[in-house]
Amino acid sequence: MHHVDIVRIPCRSPGDTSGLEDLLASGRLVAQDIVAVIGKTEGNGGVNDYTREYATAMLAACLGRALELSPAQVERRVAFVMSGGTEGVLSPHFTVFTRRPAGDRAPGAGPRMTLGVAFTRDFLPEEIGRRAQIDETARAVHRAMDDAGIAGVQDLHFVQIKCPLLTAAKIGQARARGHEPVTADTYASMAFSRGASALGVALATGEA
Q: Are 54 and 61 in contact (CB under 8 A)?
A: no
Q: Are 117 and 36 in contact (CB under 8 A)?
A: yes
Residue-level pLDDT at 104: 63
Handedness of CA 30, 38, 119, 172 (dihedral sign): negative
Residue-level pLDDT at 107: 60
Per-residue pLDDT of the chain (208 residues; tens, 9 = 90+): 788 999 999 999 999 999 999 999 999 999 999 999 999 998 888 888 899 999 999 999 999 999 999 999 999 999 999 998 888 888 999 999 999 987 766 566 677 889 999 999 999 999 999 999 999 999 999 999 999 999 999 999 999 999 999 999 999 999 999 999 999 999 999 999 999 999 999 999 999 9
Residue-level pLDDT at 108: 63
Residue-level pLDDT at 88: 80
Contacts of 140 (CB under 8 A, 6+ apart): 118, 119, 120, 200
Query: Degrees (nearest 5) of the Cα angle 137, 155, 5?
Result: 85
Residue-level pLDDT at 89: 81
- In the beta sheet, which residues pair with residue 49? none
